[in-house]
Homo-oligomer: A and B are copies of this chain.
Amino acid sequence: VKRYHEIIFEPSGRRVQVLSGTTILRAAKEAGVRIRSECDGNGICGKCMISIFNMKDVKDLTESEKKHLSSSDIDLGYRLACQVTCTEDIIVNVPHGTRIWKSQLQTTGAEKDAPLNPSIKKFHICLPKPSLSDSASDVERLLSYLKDEHCLGELDVKYELLQTLPDILRKADWDVTVIIWNDKEIIGVQDGDTTDKIFGLALDIGTSKLAIQLVDLTTGRTVRTGVIENPQLIYGEDIMTRITFAMNSYEKLKELQRSVVEGVNNVLQDTLAEARISPQNIFEAVVVGNTAMHHFFLGIQPKFLSLSPFVPCVSRSIQVKAKELNVKIHPNSIIHVMPIVAGFVGADVIGDLLSTGIHEENEISLLIDIGTNTEVLIGDSEDTLCCSCASGPAFEGGHIKHGVKAVPGAIKTVRIDPNSYEVTFETIDDQRPLGLCGSAVVDAVAEMRLCKIINHQGRFNLEIETSRIRTTNNKIEFLIADKNETATDEHVTVTQNDINEVQLAKAAIFTACSILMKEKRLTEEEIDQMLIAGAFGSSLNIRNAQLLGLIPNVPLEKVRLVGNTAVTGAKMALVSKRARETAETLSRNVRYLELTVDPGFNKEFAKAMFIPHKDLERFSS
């Protein structure tokens, strides 16, 4: 016998009836209550903390709960929503820190002008009806009309189209709109005149995040953006762990592919619903991502990317039908996967180039696209050199004790008074503070160094006297926000471990910049512009990033924050066939440097672990 229970979520008061045994996380989803979860309910992230008011049938804590909940959490009755199943009528309290707020993660970026010339075109036509004296087949009728009236010769008609064509033509009484891809293939026929509805999808598959833009291809404008965690996170935060997992068997590789596609479909579904656009009106998708994500998305064996000489399977662009990849847009539409450069330098770098245009300029540019994997590019119209490094998720709030994404309530800037050590901060949307997002992590560590709260090696200076340096569970931490003022009723602090994570991340990025500059025989002074792309968005304090030694010490007036240029590059290729051609050329011409085989790498990395750097003269200003 199936049993249902009523679950009420506070403070919103939303109610839902669920089958006995459903997890609270699942029930919340059904009730439309958004609860934080980064691991798809697998008990890995520990973010879905809730408390239950009136539970009689209290089950023991699961291993996952024991790991993620502190003893005070447990005392206060907190549980993880993904670990508790509904076995009676209950009222669930969703604390502020667990609620999801619309993320302000960067989903747009700098964008070069590109002439509007998408691959997808629509033609509204009224076909002559067949008769005994004109009994040409449906396809011949369609093609000869398109040839005579629109000079469209030699169009392909694929198997899929034939499945629906006879019925649609007759249902529409021969008054239809034909969707043509690349002046080459008829991908669909719709009833009546639908020429005002042509949309495309730009997709950036990041190691940690999937960012999309929905683009109106009649205007070239982005109508909506969306972002979601990469669901592959549960298979490992870093690329190498995922590659190792996928190497084991074909089934595991397919599992990773399904996982990322599912993520794409989820963010797409939400974003389409918000924009009130039917997935059937999305006729093309352009995809960028680093090489590993590219291989996973296409279900290609990634093993050889991780083994010297780090050879990808394919670097040119690939076209696949949406239905082959199970991406939920018009099934016959084409997914254009942008070309990649090499090794781990993927199509995201091509996107960076397209949207910033540094490959067209005479000046020397340095572009740093910061994410869990960071790509660095240096060059001009003559020559562009690039590399990739695994920088980890610290600047996206990951591996940081009180790290959060850029959601309302996230602390986005931090200032520490060098005399009183008092802290001032700003939060996104001026909400009560929830935790530190990437830019605040940079600020906090940089300011702590500036105030000498931490030393050159990043260790706490215990001689400083302030109550903000505290010890919790034998671990030293610096208090940013007191629990009385936070949304989570917990202190927001920076721990020694957080600082170490930041050092590792920033050392990786700086080393990449450093080796590229050495390879091009360029100094900081010779860089004409430095562009910071990726996760930080517009909140990054560049001065602090330099104080931290995250980025080279280029004069501030030469530095520009350019946002998510990867997804913007994909969008440019979506609206402009010319940008797509440029991408192909770039893929062949951009040079790639494999950092790990550089003999100076380890030494450079060790020096970059210092704050800002072992060689202080590199940060003399």
Contact = CB atoms under 8 A, between A and B. Distances in A.
Contact of A313 (B137, B303, B314, B597): B137
A221 interface: no
A557 interface: no
A313 B594 contact: no
A318 B163 CA distance: 13
A132 B592 CA distance: 11
Contact of A139 (B130, B304, B313): B313
Contacts of A308: 132
A159 interface: yes
A162 B298 contact: yes
A438 interface: no
B159 A301 contact: no
Given A132-B308, A159-B320, A314-B157, A300 B166 contact: yes
A196 B405 CA distance: 60
Contacts of A312: 137-138
A86 B138 CA distance: 51
A137 B303 contact: no
A15 B304 CA distance: 50
Contact of A138 (B170, B298, B311, B318): B311
Given A162-B298, A162-B300, A304-B170, A314 B139 contact: yes
Given A136-B315, A316-B140, A309 B131 contact: yes
A45 interface: no
Contacts of A316: 137, 139-140, 157
A313 B162 contact: yes
Interface string A115-136: 0000000000000001110111
A300 B138 CA distance: 12
Given A140-B316, A170-B304, A301-B166, A311 B159 contact: no
Interface string A152-169: 000001010011011100
Contacts of A136: 311, 315
A73 interface: no
Nearest to A168: B301
A239 B308 CA distance: 61
A155 to B, nearest CB: 11
A324 interface: yes
A299 interface: yes
A298 B159 contact: yes
A167 B139 CA distance: 40
Interface string A325-342: 100000000000000101
A418 to B, nearest CB: 48
Contact of A300 (B163, B324, B325): B163
Nearest to A139: B314
Q: Which of A166, A170, A299, A594 has the most CB of B within 10 A?
A: A166
Interface in A588-604: 592, 594, 597
A373 to B, nearest CB: 18
Interface in A261-316: 298-301, 303-304, 308-316
A343 interface: yes
A310 B136 CA distance: 9
A135 B314 contact: no
Contacts of A166: 300-301, 303-304, 313
A162 B318 contact: yes
Contacts of A592: 135
Interface in A483-497: none
Contacts of A324: 159
27 contacts: A130-B311, A131-B309, A132-B309, A134-B309, A135-B594, A137-B312, A137-B314, A137-B340, A137-B342, A138-B312, A138-B313, A138-B314, A139-B313, A139-B316, A140-B315, A159-B298, A159-B318, A159-B324, A162-B298, A162-B300, A162-B313, A163-B299, A163-B300, A165-B314, A166-B304, A167-B301, A170-B304
Given A130-B311, A135-B309, 9 more contacts: A132-B309, A135-B311, A137-B311, A138-B312, A157-B316, A159-B298, A159-B320, A162-B300, A163-B299
Interface of A: 130-132, 134-140, 157, 159, 162-163, 165-167, 170, 298-301, 303-304, 308-316, 318, 320, 324-325, 340, 342-343, 592, 594, 597
